[in-house]
A and B are shown apart, each in its own frame.
Chain A
């Protein structure tokens, strides 16, 4: 199996997992905090998509932050939310946000799902053309310029980071009273 195909399989599985976890979250609970300073389901979802954009478009494809899927897809206009300049290094990825900045997110599920679909399409297209040399290519990290990384490392990070935040949003769902439909429930 080509290395790129391994990552494509992982991204497809991740995409399906996110669909399953988010399908039962109504818009009225998407941005509700389960407790003080606990991040919302919607914030976790948005943040993992922004990091997905970082890994694939900023780093692997070498696009500028203003050319990533969020910007090309017009999601700032669709949601009325402009992340540019916010958070760590003004990267607008959700990292280093204050509670007040987290609370600014109020975008509907349908737009986030559209963002996810665009990222999936672009990631699969990239991986379809990525050979071993491309995946091994050494590139500087745009958020840690003194650190070198590679597209392969970013694909691995994409999966691990996304599942980690999927776990957080799952727990937030539980605190909001939404039961995990994939869980079998008590055996007795």
Chain B
């Protein structure tokens, strides 16, 4: 199996687990903090998706910050929330947010779920254009020029970052009685 095929299968599984984890979450489970300074599941979901967008659209596909899936899909307009300028280097991905900025992120499950579906569809379409040689070429990093990257590394990061934050989300919702339906 090619490296690209392995990554494709792992992205499929990652997508499915994330979607299954948030499916059916109650308002309290999705939006409330389990305690002071603890991130709510909805914020974590937003953060995972913004990072996915950064990995695929900004870094791998070379799109401008204002042209990523969040903006092309008009999710900011739907939620009346515009993250650019916030957090680490103003990237608006959730990293480096203050508690107040975390609280300002709209935790609308239905809209964020559509954002996830769009990101997945775009990722699969993009991967169909790639091969193992292409994903291992070194690419200049527009966000940090001293840190060149490969597409393979960003897709691998997408899988690991999404996987551990899916665990975060499950645990945060578990504090409000959420039970993982996939476990006995």
Complex CA–CA separation, A175 to B3 (angstroms): 37
Complex CA–CA separation, A169 to B174 (angstroms): 13
**Interfacial chain A residues near B172, Cβ < 8 Å:** 171
Complex CA–CA separation, A167 to B184 (angstroms): 20
- The reply to whether B159 and A186 form a contact with Cβ atoms under 8 Å apart is no
B96 is contacted by which of A1, A38, A187 (Cβ under 8 Å)?
Answer: A187
Instruction: Report the nearest A residue to B14, measured CB to CB.
Output: A160
A184 is contacted by which of B35, B96, B160 (Cβ under 8 Å)?
Answer: B96
**Interfacial chain B residues near A186, Cβ < 8 Å:** 96-99, 101
Complex CA–CA separation, A180 to B37 (angstroms): 13
Complex CA–CA separation, A6 to B97 (angstroms): 34
Assuming the contacts A167-B164, A170-B167, asked whether A3 and B1 have C-beta atoms less than 8 A apart, the reply is yes
- The reply to whether A95 and B167 form a contact with Cβ atoms under 8 Å apart is no
Assuming the contacts A3-B1, A10-B156, A95-B184, asked whether A166 and B167 have C-beta atoms less than 8 A apart, the reply is yes
Provide the main secondary structure of the chain A interface: helix
Asked if A134 is an interface residue, CB under 8 A from chain B, the answer is: no
- The reply to whether B174 and A38 form a contact with Cβ atoms under 8 Å apart is yes
Asked if B143 is an interface residue, CB under 8 A from chain A, the answer is: no
Assuming the contacts A160-B10, A174-B38, asked whether A166 and B184 have C-beta atoms less than 8 A apart, the reply is no
Asked if B27 is an interface residue, CB under 8 A from chain A, the answer is: no
Chain B residues 79 to 118 lying within 8 A of chain A, measured CB to CB, are 87-89, 95-99, 101
**Interfacial chain A residues near B89, Cβ < 8 Å:** 187
Number of interface residues of B (CB under 8 A): 41
Provide the main secondary structure of the chain B interface: helix
- The reply to whether A38 and B160 form a contact with Cβ atoms under 8 Å apart is no
Instruction: Report the nearest A residue to B2, measured CB to CB.
Output: A3
For the A-B complex, the count of residue pairs with Cβ-Cβ distances under 8 Å equals 107
Asked if B9 is an interface residue, CB under 8 A from chain A, the answer is: yes
**Interfacial chain B residues near A34, Cβ < 8 Å:** 175
**Interfacial chain A residues near B3, Cβ < 8 Å:** 1, 3, 6
Number of interface residues of A (CB under 8 A): 40
Contact with A along B163-178 (1 / 0, CB 8 A): 1111111111011000
Instruction: Report the nearest B residue to A174, measured CB to CB.
Output: B38
- The reply to whether A152 and B1 form a contact with Cβ atoms under 8 Å apart is yes
Question: Closest CB of chain A to B130's CB: distance in Å?
Answer: 14
- The reply to whether B163 and A96 form a contact with Cβ atoms under 8 Å apart is no
Asked if B132 is an interface residue, CB under 8 A from chain A, the answer is: yes
Asked if A156 is an interface residue, CB under 8 A from chain B, the answer is: yes
- The reply to whether B168 and A171 form a contact with Cβ atoms under 8 Å apart is yes
**Interfacial chain B residues near A127, Cβ < 8 Å:** none
- The reply to whether B167 and A167 form a contact with Cβ atoms under 8 Å apart is yes
Assuming the contacts A38-B175, A184-B88, A187-B87, asked whether A175 and B160 have C-beta atoms less than 8 A apart, the reply is no
A/B interface sample: 24 pairs, CB < 8 A: A1-B132, A6-B6, A7-B6, A34-B175, A37-B174, A132-B1, A136-B1, A159-B10, A159-B163, A160-B13, A160-B14, A163-B159, A163-B164, A164-B166, A165-B167, A167-B164, A168-B168, A168-B171, A170-B167, A171-B167, A172-B171, A175-B175, A185-B96, A186-B96
List the 6 shortest-distance A-B pairs measured between CB atoms, nearest first: A167-B167, A167-B164, A187-B96, A163-B163, A171-B171, A168-B167
Query: A13-B160, A160-B17 known; 20 other A-B pairs, CB under 8 Å?
Result: A3-B2, A6-B3, A96-B183, A136-B1, A152-B6, A159-B10, A159-B159, A160-B10, A160-B14, A160-B159, A163-B160, A163-B163, A163-B167, A167-B169, A168-B168, A170-B164, A175-B175, A183-B95, A184-B96, A187-B96
